[in-house]
Amino acid sequence: MAQVKNNYQFEDMLQKHNLKKTAPRLRVLSMMYSKNTATSQPDLESVMNDIDRVTLYRILNVFEEKGIIHKVFDLNGTANYAVCHSDCQENHHHDEHLHFNCTACKNVYCLNELNIPKLTLPAGFEPQAFTIYASGLCPKCSKKGTAKTN
């Protein structure tokens, strides 16, 4: 489920990160916290179409720097943005979770719960971060496909 927060909490978040409480920022926050999937850049732009495109880019950038959201590219290379779970810090993201890209509805899910197995790389490679992408059908779409009715 989506993380439910009210406007006061969003204002607190901004204050905590030394960001001014502005209407565009609050709207972006509340939009992203109302969903349990990442939002694509095109979607964000069309939903927030009265906010200047450049402003939106800048809001997303500061939010990412501050560890409020993280950026993830879907299988088409399109930027998607999702709220970070609690333990992200400024300039140090803990987004080593699995990103699931549904091939039907195109939604990107962040599966935080999943623990990523440790991988051993060939000699010489010094990995610092991992991200796993899976594609296929999400619960909603797989249900549709196999359901007797509909």
Partner DNA sequence: ATACAAATGCAACATTATTGTATTTAGAAA
Partner DNA sequence: TTTCTAAATACAATAATGTTGCATTTGTAT
Q: Which residue ranges make up the site for DNA (CB under 7 A)?
A: 14-15, 18-25, 41-42, 45, 51-55, 57-59, 61-62, 77-79
Nearer to a second copy, 10 or 109 (CB): 109
Q: Which amino acid, residue 30?
A: S
Token reading at 115: 């623990």
Nearer to a second copy, 63 or 100 (CB): 100
Token reading at 6: 């009210």
Binding region for a second copy (CB under 8 A)? 73, 77-79, 98, 100, 103, 109, 111, 113-114, 117, 119, 121-140, 142-143
16 binds, among a second copy, DNA, none (CB under 5 to 8 A by kind): none
Task: Write a three-state SS string for 53-70.
Answer: HHHHHHHHHHHHHCCCEE
Q: For residue 28, which of 65, 55, 67 has the smallest C-alpha distance?
A: 55
